[in-house]
Amino acid sequence: MRFFPSLRACLDAGDPAAKVAATRETARLHAAGQLPGSDEVTPADAIRAPGRPPRPELVAPRDTPQRGLGSVEGRAAFLHAIAHIEFNAINLALDAAYRFRGMPEPFYADWLSVADDEARHFSLLSQRLQELGYAYGDFGAHNGLWEMAEKTADSCLARMALVPRVLEARGLDVTPGMIARLRGLGDEASACLLELILDEEVRHVAIGSRWFVWCCEREGLAPEATFIALIRDHAKGAIRGPFNRPARAAAGFADSEMALLSALSEKH
């Protein structure tokens, strides 16, 4: 087996169970030293849509299901949306490791470990959906996360800034409130699952922070100014408070950076 072709096979897998199994096995082999990554420097293929099942139907964000959490269907629709995020996050982590060649070996180890976590999260959410009488694909979903991957395909720096540190970091802000709501409704199983995901997502965003700073240092750029400039150019609408400051601090956001993000969020 070779490293980058193995990642491509994981990305191309359309069946969710097959993607999860291939991703977890690839991560295991790499962690065991049996699939080294940074010794291959052939260019990546042009970015294309990753493998995905025929359902869920992809719709505009405004057309995704909006149901109250008070019903089983409403909670299933909410968990389905999280499962779809995690499914996309598997592909995003795999693509980060696949696309950006010539990086230090720890970069590949980090993003394969993230892909492994996201695959496990997706499996846990799928199991919870089944317990509620639903399955992944039963509700519509949008493709916003992967669209950002396409926009940042030519820049590791932009990818590290805009995917983990903007789109995924948003989950750090909103998940605690959803956990509280689920627990208030007596859905302890779903609340505990989201607590696990939140705890591990802090590490994922921290990995993005670490490699964003590394990319900035490589290019002689100031990280904070570069981050804000990228947001203004590509993701202004994604910055909304209130922020989960303790989680963001643990994920690599400095106080000065949070002040800039707060000021930016107040303008939109």
Domains of the chain with CATH codes: 3-34+59-266 (1.20.1260)
- pLDDT at residue 79, as a whole number: 96
Q: Is the pTM of this model over 0.85?
A: yes
Q: Are 16 and 53 in contact (CB under 8 A)?
A: yes
- The type of residue at 215 is C
pLDDT of residue 117: 98
Largest CA distance in the chain: 53
* pLDDT for the residue 268: 57
**What is the model's pLDDT at position 39?**
57
Q: pLDDT at position 66, please?
A: 73
- The pLDDT value recorded for residue 60 is 75
pLDDT-flagged residues of the chain (< 50) = none
